[in-house]
Structure 1
C-alpha cells in the first residue's frame, strides 16, 4: 500500500501530463501483480468496493474521537479521507504493517456487509498515515489525482511499446486486476483474446476552432454537419453481439435496450444519442435534460422507454459488416453509412444531415443561429479524411456556439480536493427573483473551474472574511443587494429542471470573470434564465 500511496502523492504534485505518465509507467513496471492491476482499476474508475461508504468511515472515527473535535478538524482540512488519516489513533501496541494493495482489496471483496466495519477498522489501525490516506481514497472512490482513464491507458501503451488504440480495443473485454493485459505488455504472453467481438474502438476527435484556424483552408475541402446536444456513442453489432458505448468507452447498453433491439445491420457506427424523434419519424428532437432521464441507469422500464424514446443520429462508420472502413475517406464512409441507415429502423436511426455552405462567413452565420435548439454548433470534416483515432490536428474541427453568460452572486463555497483542499474552490452562485414580494437569491448552479490561481486567492479570501454560516466543509457567504461577490458565469446550455429549486439547470457552467466592479443588486434575475429557455424552445 505504501508504494501506491507514494504514487498518489507524486501524481497530485505533478501537474504536467508527461510527468504523470512517467510516474504511472514506473509504477506499472515495478509493482507486482495483482497490486498494479488494482491500482490501474482504481485510477481508471473500474474498481468497485460498494460495501465501504463515507458514513461508515466517519462512524468508525467517532468511536474514538469526540464529535465536536472531529467536526472542527474536518472543517479545517476539508477532506474526509485526509482528516481521518491524520487524526486516527491505533490502539496501544498495534504493530504497523505495509498491507499489499491487492491483499487489501481482495480481503474487502471477500468480506460481507456484516463484517466489513471490522476489516476496515483493522486496516486503518495497521497502516501508517500516508498509506491510510491512500486506502481511504481507494475504498471511497475519490482519488482526485488529475489522472483520467485515457491517461492511464496511454501509460500502459508506453510501458509495453504498444499503440494506445490496441489498449482501447481490449479494455472492455478485460477486468481487474488485468493480469492477461500486464503479461502481454510485459512480453510474457500473447495479446489477450476477447470473448466478445463487439469491442469499443478509439474514437476520432475534433479540435475546437480557434482564431486563425480556418485561415488558408478552402471551404470546398470540407463538409459541415450540425453538432447535436446529446452524447456521442459507438454502436457495435459484430458476430451477433450488440453493444452501445459512450465516447469514453463505458458500456451503456443496459439503459438503451430499445436501440440495441432495433439494430438489424452488422458493423460499428459512430453517432449522437438523442431523445425524441428522428428526422424520418417526424417527431421533434428533445433536450439533453430529457436524455439525462435515461443516462446512468443499469436498466430501464417500458414506461421510461415510451416517455423518453431514444435514437442514434449516425454520422460516421468504422466497420461495414466486418470490414474495417476507417482508412477510407469521409465521403466514401458516409456513402456506406447512408446505405445502412436507409435500411435501418426509422424510429431508431437517422443520418446526420450535411449543412450546405460556400464560405466561412456563411457558416459562421449558420453557427450563430441554428435551426434547432438541440444544436450546439457546427462540425467540420475534411472530405478526404480517414477515421483516425485520437485528436489529430486538421481533419476535424468543432465550432461551437458562443456560450451563454450571466452575472451571478456567490452564495456558498466548499473546500476543494487534492492540491485545492486548503482553499474554498467549489462555488454555488445564484440570481435574484421575487418570492412573496421580497427580492431573494436562489441558487442556479455550481462551478469549480474557469478561474486562475490568482483569482482563486481572491475568492478564497472573500469566503473566509465573509462567512455567515458553516455546514461542515461548506460555508455560506454574505450576499446582500449592497454587499457580496459577483461572478460572470459562462455555460453551454440551459434547460428546465424539476430537481432544482430554481427550476433551471445549466450545462457546463464555469466562472468566466470576477466582477468586482459590480454590486450584487446588479446581478441577473431568474427571469433572464427562464427567458433563455423560452427563446430556445420557441426557435
Structure 2
C-alpha cells in the first residue's frame, strides 16, 4: 500500500503528462501481480465499494477528534481524504502495513458492520500519505491529474503497443488484469473479448475554430447535425450459447441498459451503433430538459416509459454482423450505416441526416439557421454541427484534424455574484464555486434571485482576483458558504455563458440553466445594471416558439 500511496503522491505534484506516464509505467514494471492490477483498476475508476462511503469516514474521525475542529479543518482544507489523513491520531508502523490487494479484498468482502473497525485498523497502520491514498481509494475521487487514458498509455509503454490497442481489448477485461500485463510484456496471448455486446471506446471531436476550418478544403469534409441529447453506444450480439444480448453504454463506458428497458428490447440487430439518445414524441425530437426526466431514475415505470419514449439517432456504425468497421473511412461506414438502418427498419433507431454544403460560408449559414438547412421541425433540438473528414477512421480518443464539433454560440447573461464556497483539491484554498443571481421585482422592490452555480470558465489569475473579492466583501457565513455583498451599488457582476435554459419547479427562480460557466468578470459593470430574470424567461419563450413553429 505504501508504494501505491507514494505513486499517487508523486502524480498529484507532477504537472507534466509524459512524466506522469513514466511514473505509472515504472510502478507497473516494478510491482508484481496482482498489486499492479488493482492499482490500474483504481487509476481507471474500475473499483467501487458498496459499504465504504464518505459518511463512514466522517463518523470514524469524529469519534477520534473534536467534531468542531474537524468541521473547521475540513472547511479550510476542502478535501475529506486529506483532512482525515492529517487529523487521524494513528500510530504508524504499530500494525502491519497491508498490501493494496488485501485492502481491496477487505473493502469488497467485509460486512458493513465490521468495516469501520477494519478501516480504523488500516488507518492506524499507515502514515499520513498512506492514509490519504487509502481514503482517496474509498471516496473514488483520486484527483491526481491522471486520467484512465493516461494509465492505459502507461500500460502500453511496458511493451511495443499503442494506447489504442489497450483501449480495444479493455472492455472484456476485469481486475486485476493479469492477462493484460502478460500480453503487453510478451508473456501471453492477446486477451480476447468474450462479451457479445461490449463497450467500444468512443471517438471524440475538437471544437472548431475559424483558424481551423478556413485552412481546410471543404471538399475533404462532410457535416451532420449535433443533437442536444446524450451520446450513447448501442451494442448487441449473441453469446456462446446463442442468446441475444443487447446493452446501452454511455460515452464514458457506463452500462445504462437498466434505465431504458424499452429501448433494450428493441435492439434486435447484431452490431454496434454510435448515436444520440433522444426523446421523440410523435416523430419530433424533444428538448434535453425533457430527456432529463428519463435520466438517473431509480425505477422505470410503464407510465414513465410511455410519457418519455427514448430513441437513438444514429451517427456511425462501428460493428456489423461481427465485422469491425472502425478502421474503414467514415464515408464507407456511413454508406453501411444507411443500408443498415434501411434494412433493419427499427422504429427506435433512425439516421442522423447529413448537412449538404459547398463551402464553409454555406455551412456557417446552416449552423445559424438549421430549420432552413434541412433540420425542419427538429431544429430547436440542434445544438450545432459535427464536421468530419471523409476518410477518417473511427479512432479512440480525440485525434486532431479528423472530427470537429461546431456548436451554437452560447447564450449569456450578466448576473450578480451572491454566494461563494471553497473548491476541492488544488482549489481547496480558494473560493472558486459561485452562486449568481438575476434581478426581479416584488412588493419590497428589486430583489436578486439565485439562478445558477458555476465553478469554471476563469483563468488561475482571475480566480485569485475573485477569491480576493469574496474575502473582502463577505457579509455573512452559512457553514462553508460565504454570502457576498450584492446590493444594487456594491457587488460583482459575472458574464455567465450557458448552453440552454428551461423552466424548473425545483429551483427558486423557476428556471434552470444548462452548463453555466463564467465567461467574463464584469469589473466595469455595477450590480444594478445586471440582467433581470425576465431575460431568461424570454429565452425560454423564444425556444418554445421556435419549437412550436
Q: What does 1:132-281 correspond to in 2, within 5 Å?
A: 132-239=131-238, 240-277=244-281
Q: Where do 5+ consecutive residues of structure 1 fail to align?
A: none
Q: Distance in 2 between matches of 1:443 and 1:469?
A: 16
Matched, 1:466 2:465: no
C-alpha distance in 2, partners of 1:45/1:181? Answer: 17
Spell out the pairing of 1:119-130 with structure 2 (5 A cutoff). Answer: 119-130=118-129
Structure 1 residues 159 and 528 mapped into 2: Cα distance closer, same or farther (>3 Å)? farther
CA distance in 2, matches of 1:173, 1:497: 41
Aligned to 2:302: 302
Q: Structure 2 vs 1, CA of residues 472 and 147 (structure 1 numbering), >3 Å: closer, same or farther?
A: farther
In the aligned structure 2, how far is the partner of 1:29 from the partner of 1:476? 51
Q: Give the corresponding residue for 2:375.
A: none
Aligned residue pair count = 534
Q: 1:415 and 2:422 equivalent?
A: yes
CA contact (8 A) 1:35 1:101 kept: yes
Write the mapping of 1:60-75 to structure 2, written as runs, cut at 5 A: 60-75=60-75
Shift of 1:387: 3.1
Q: 1:537 to 1:14 in 2, by over 3 A?
A: farther
1:496 maps to 503
Q: 1:265 to 1:78 in 2, by over 3 A?
A: closer
- CA separation in 1, counterparts of 2:108 and 2:187? 28
SS in 2 for 1:333: helix
| Aligned: 1:58 with 2:58 | yes
Query: Partners in 2 of 1:89 and 1:503 — Cα distance?
Result: 47
Report if the CA contact (8 A) 2:38-2:176 is conserved: yes
In structure 2, C-alpha distance between the alignment counterparts of 1:394 and 1:128, rounded to whole Å = 47
Q: CA 1:387/1:128 → structure 2, altered by over 3 Å: closer, same or farther? A: closer
Q: Once the two structures are superposed, what CA deviation does each residue of 1:160-211 show, in whole Å capped at 9, x if it has no partner?
A: 3323333223323222222322232333322223331322223333222112
In structure 2, how many angstroms separate the alpha carbons of the residues matched to 1:207 and 1:141?
28
1:13-28 mapped onto 2 (5 Å cutoff): 13-28=13-28
Q: Secondary structure at the match of 1:10?
A: helix
Alpha-carbon separation, structure 1, partners of 2:267 and 2:300:
18
Contact kept in structure 2, 1:479 and 1:520, CA below 8 Å: yes
SS in structure 1 at match of 2:158: helix
Change (3 A) 1:22 1:426: farther
Structure 1 distance, partners of 2:509, 2:28, is 47
- Show the 5 A alignment for 1:394-405: 394-405=401-412
- Report Cα offsets for 1:71-121 as digits up to 9, x if no partner: 222222222221111111137x97154321221121122211111111122
Question: What is the match of residue 80 of structure 1?
Answer: 80
- Which of the residues 377, 389, 392 maps onto 1:385? 392
CA distance in 2, matches of 1:390, 1:62: 43
Deviation at 1:448, TM superposition (A): 1.8
TM-score, normalised by the number of residues in structure 1: 0.93
Cα distance change of structure 1 residues 437 and 349 upon mapping to structure 2, 3 Å threshold: farther
Normalising by structure 2, we get a TM-score of: 0.91
**How do 1:349-368 residues align onto structure 2 when only pairs under 5 Å count?**
349-368=349-368
Contact 2:437 2:450 in 1 (8 A): yes
Distance 1:471 1:147 in 2: 34
Contact 2:78–2:425, Cα closer than 8 Å, also in 1: no
CA contact (8 A) 1:170 1:199 kept: no
**Preserved CA contact (<8 Å) 1:254 1:298:** no
> Matches of 2:41 and 2:299 in 1, distance apart?
24
CA contact (8 A) 1:262 1:345 kept: no
Q: RMSD in angstroms over aligned alpha carbons? A: 2.2
Give the direction of change, closer, same or farther, for the CA distance of 1:216–1:49 in structure 2 (3 Å limit). Answer: closer
- Does 1:283 pair with 2:279? no
Question: What's the CA shift for 1:501?
Answer: 2.4
